[in-house]
Amino acid sequence: MDREVAVREPRVPEHLPERERSNASRARSPRPSTACCTRTRPAASLAVPAEYQRTVPDRKSDQEHWVTYTDWSGSIWIGLRLEKKAEDTGGNIAGSAAAEMYDDDTRFGSRRAAATSSTWTRGRRSRTPR
């Protein structure tokens, strides 16, 4: 029994005037929302078994965005941490999702290549450091 979980972006504050709420809603969404300005769309989703226990940060003391699902034994866990571009003070997040993907691919690809290379020796495959 799997369940799908979505981490949602924060809603547009209700105290804003109607014009500002609709502008804020449009800025987040590629198409304007006509039904309600406080609709949210998932920032990420993941599927976890239904029996896993959910853990989230305390909203009063912790401003981070994460969720963790753990099995009953505690030995298997699935975690998701959301880093928002608006909260990135160090400039660590690229300008778009595609740019971030290419940046990650470059970093992880160079680590894989530097760690090991595979060669064939006398019919056996051996790993030698570069």
What are 30-88's pLDDT values in tens digits? 444 444 445 567 777 888 999 999 988 887 777 778 889 999 998 999 988 877 777 76
If asked whether residues 41 and 85 sit together in one domain, one would say yes
* Residues β-bridged to residue 77: 70
* DSSP assignment letter at 4: E
- What pLDDT shows up at residue 73? 92
Residue 105: give the domain boundaries: 94-130
If asked whether residues 75 and 106 sit together in one domain, one would say no
Instruction: With a cut of 90, say whether residue 89 has pLDDT above it.
Output: no
Q: What percent of the chain has pLDDT over 70?
A: 51
* Number of domains present in the structure of the chain: 2
User: Which residue type is seen at 36?
Assistant: C
Query: What are the structure tokens assigned to 38, written together?
Result: 């406080």
If asked whether residues 13 and 30 sit together in one domain, one would say yes
**pTM score over 0.75:** no
If asked whether residues 14 and 64 sit together in one domain, one would say yes
- Residue pair 82/93 in contact (Cβ under 8 Å)? The answer is no
Query: What are the structure tokens assigned to 123, written together?
Result: 């019919």
* Residues β-bridged to residue 46: 5
If asked whether residues 28 and 17 sit together in one domain, one would say yes
Per-residue pLDDT band at 102 (split at 50, 70, 90): confident
- Residue pair 27/42 in contact (Cβ under 8 Å)? The answer is no
Query: What are the structure tokens assigned to 75, written together?
Result: 């030995």
